[in-house]
Amino acid sequence: MLARRELPDEYRRWNDRWGVPFGRHRLPVQLLERSGALGRVALARPALRRWRGPFAFQWNTRTRTYEYPWVRGQLVRAGARRVLEIGGALSGLQFALAADGMSVCNVDPFLDYGSGAYEIDPAAEHAMLNRVFGTTVELCRTTLPEARPTGPFDAAVCVSTLEHLRPADIEETLAVVRDVVVPGGIVVLTVDLFLDLDPFTDVEENRWGRNVPVAWIEELLGGELVVGDRTELLGYPEFDVRHVLTELGSLTMGSEYPQLAQLAVVRCP
Ligand SMILES: C[S@@+](CC[C@H](N)C(=O)[O-])C[C@H]1O[C@@H](n2cnc3c(N)ncnc32)[C@H](O)[C@@H]1O
């Protein structure tokens, strides 16, 4: 399926609890940001970071308002305890999942994926966020093929990452996922669908990446799509451009880019 504009009550409650998608208390934070060095010192204090919540420390798109609680719901439904996050960056999801009792390993090389290089040391920031939120999320600062994390994991999660990778990197990444997720475990995916690219236009690539067929991801994983509406997932014969365009009014879209979010769960063999 594609992420909707309308949120189920359960998602709304979870988002309120964690401050999804941009963190809490934005107005006082913006005032502190504008008030120079003293404001920046105040913002770095652990108590203030805790007050803002784990989602305040990475730029996000509006579609995450649906994506994050949906991903968390899939993991809870599957009873996942040990979770591999691919490309978790400094997103709050890993900390919120860990605070909910899951053991999370985030593999991310912290590359510039289109919005500029990091101005801070992301590993130091990650360690700080673990301290602030009382979590123990493991960080492997490299790509998934390089990291070779010790499995098995009950589930892998990949939020808006595969569309930024080259096809060969996607193949290598998913080959490792196959190795480290338990047989019958799940891969929970959100994959951007860009309206300025094929199959909506003749263009193959934009500054963020490509439209990646979810059907191809399922094939690479050698698994079975267990959650997802094929009429809204690229690569399936049922995928229907007209249906997607007709549904646009009910879909959540990035506020700064014409991007929708495809949602799918693949069960590993
Ligand atoms: C758009 S960001 C991810 C956003 C994040 N998951 C979220 O919830 O906001 C894409 C991330 O993928 C990471 N990345 C790129 N190639 C990777 C690979 N082969 N394995 C793991 N992470 C990768 C980048 O460093 C970047 O942080």
Give the nearest ligand 1 atom to 145 CA: 19
| C-beta 89 within 6 A of ligand 1 | yes
- The whole-angstrom separation of Cα 178 and Cα 99 is 26
pLDDT of residue 32: 78
Instruction: Answer for the pair 98, 135: CB distance below 8 angstroms, yes or no.
Output: yes
Residue 33 confidence (pLDDT) = 81
The finding on whether 140 has its CB within 6 A of some atom of ligand 1 is no
Distance (Å) from CA 158 to ligand 1 centroid: 8
Q: Does domain 9-22+59-267 sit in CATH 3.40.50.2300?
A: no
- Is the CB of 88 inside a 6 Å radius of any atom of ligand 1? yes
DSSP 8-state symbol, 230: G
Residue 189: both structure tokens together: 């995916």
By the 10 Å C-beta count (0-12 exposed, 13-18 middle, 19+ buried), 25 is classed as: middle
Minimum-distance ligand 1 atom for the alpha carbon of 85:
6
Q: How far apart are CA 134 and CA 31, in angstroms?
A: 27
Atom of ligand 1 nearest to the CA of 147: 20
CB of 239 closer than 8 Å to CB of 230: yes
Instruction: Give per-10-residue mean pLDDT for the chain (269 aa).
Output: 98 97 83 81 85 91 97 98 97 98 97 76 95 97 92 96 97 97 98 98 96 98 97 98 97 95 97
CA of 85 to the centre of ligand 1 (A): 9
Q: What is the pLDDT of residue 104?
A: 98
Ligand 1 pocket test: pick from 66, 161, 210 the residue with the most ligand atoms within 8 Å of its Cβ: 161
Residue 106 in contact with ligand 1 by CB distance below 6 A: no
Ranges of each domain in the chain = 9-22+59-267
User: Which pTM was predicted?
Assistant: 0.95
Provide long-range contacts, Cβ within 8 A and 24+ apart, for 139-144: 139/105, 139/106, 139/108, 140/105, 140/106, 140/107, 140/108, 141/108, 141/109, 141/110, 142/107, 142/109, 143/107, 143/109, 143/169, 143/173, 144/86, 144/107, 144/172, 144/173, 144/176, 144/177
Q: What is the DSSP letter of 8?
A: P
**b (16+ CB within 10 A) / e for 114-132:** eeeeeeeebeeebebbbeb
